[in-house]
Amino acid sequence: MQKFLPISKADMEERGWDYYDFLYITGDAYVDHPSFGVAVISRVLEAAGYRVAILSQPDWNRESSFTALGKPRLGVLITGGNIDSMVAHYTVAKHRRKRDDYTPGGVMGKRPDRAASVYSKMAKRVYPDLPVAIGGLEASLRRFAHYDYWDDTVRRSELIESGADLLMFGMGEDTIVQLADALAEGKHISEIKNIRGTVYKTETLDDCIYPFVTVPSYDEVSRDKRKYAIAAKTEQEEQDAIRGRAVVQKHGDIYVVQTPPPYPITTERFDEVYGLPYMKDYHPSYEKFGGVKAIEEVKFSIIHNRGCFGGCNFCSLAFHQGRMISTRSHESVVNEAEAISKMSDFKGYIHDVGGPTANFRHTSCEGQKERGMCKKNCLAPTPCKNLNVDHSDYIELLRKLRKIPKIKRVFIRSGVRFDYVMADKSDEFFKELVRYHVSGQLKVAPEHCCDSVLRYMGKPRFDVYRRFYKKFFELDKAYGKNQFLVPYFISSHPGATLRDAVSLAEYLNSIGHMPEQVQDFYPTPGTIATCMYYTELDPMTMEKVYVPKDPHEKAMQRALLQWRRPECRTLVKEALEKSGRRDLIGTSKRSLIRPDKVKNTTVRKAASASKPYGEDKNKRRGKRR
Q: What does the DSSP 8-state code read for residue 190? A: G
| pLDDT > 90: percent of the chain | 90
Locate the DSSP E strands across 217-337. 246-251, 254-258, 281-282, 301-303, 305-306, 326-327
Q: How confident is the model at residue 585 (pLDDT cuts 50, 70, 90)?
A: very high
Q: Which of 367 and 202 is assigned the larger pLDDT?
A: 202
Determine the Cα–Cα distance for residues 332 and 234; give it in Å rounded to an integer.
37
Single pTM value for the model:
0.92
With helix as H, strand as E and coil as C, how does 358-417 read? Answer: CCCCCCCCCCHHHHCCCCCCCCCCCCCCCCCCCCHHHHHHHHHHHCCCCCCEECCCCCCC
The per-residue pLDDT for range 19-69, each reduced to its tens digit, is 999 999 999 999 999 999 999 999 999 999 999 999 999 999 999 999 999
The lowest-confidence range among 1-5, 278-282, 349-353, 588-592 is 1-5
Q: Is the pLDDT of residue 603 over 80?
A: no
pLDDT value of position 611: 44
Pick from 76, 169, 162, 72: which is nearest to 115 by CA?
A: 162
The lowest-confidence range among 83-87, 213-217, 357-361, 369-373 is 369-373
pLDDT value of position 617: 40
| pLDDT > 70: percent of the chain | 95
pLDDT value of position 597: 80
Q: Is the pLDDT of residue 451 over 60?
A: yes
The per-residue pLDDT for range 276-303, each reduced to its tens digit, is 999 999 999 999 999 999 999 899 999 9
pLDDT value of position 297: 87
Pick from 39, 50, 44, 16: which is nearest to 185 by CA?
A: 50
- For range 253-262, the mean pLDDT: 97
The per-residue pLDDT for range 478-506, each reduced to its tens digit, is 999 999 999 999 999 999 999 999 999 99
The DSSP string of 199-222 is: EEEES-STT--S-EEE---HHHHH
- For range 134-138, the mean pLDDT: 96
- Asked if residue 55 lies in contact with residue 132, where contact means CB atoms within 8 angstroms, the answer is no
Burial 394-409 (b: 16+ CB within 10 A, else e): bbebbeebbeeeebee
Domains observed in the chain: 9-200 (3.40.50.280), 295-522 (3.80.30.20)
Q: Is the pLDDT of residue 622 over 70?
A: no
Q: How confident is the model at residue 618 (pLDDT cuts 50, 70, 90)?
A: very low
Question: What is the chain's mean pLDDT, rounded?
Answer: 93
pLDDT value of position 610: 41
The per-residue pLDDT for range 375-409, each reduced to its tens digit, is 888 999 999 999 999 999 999 999 999 999 999 99
Q: How confident is the model at residue 612 (pLDDT cuts 50, 70, 90)?
A: very low
pLDDT value of position 598: 60
Q: How confident is the model at residue 609 (pLDDT cuts 50, 70, 90)?
A: very low
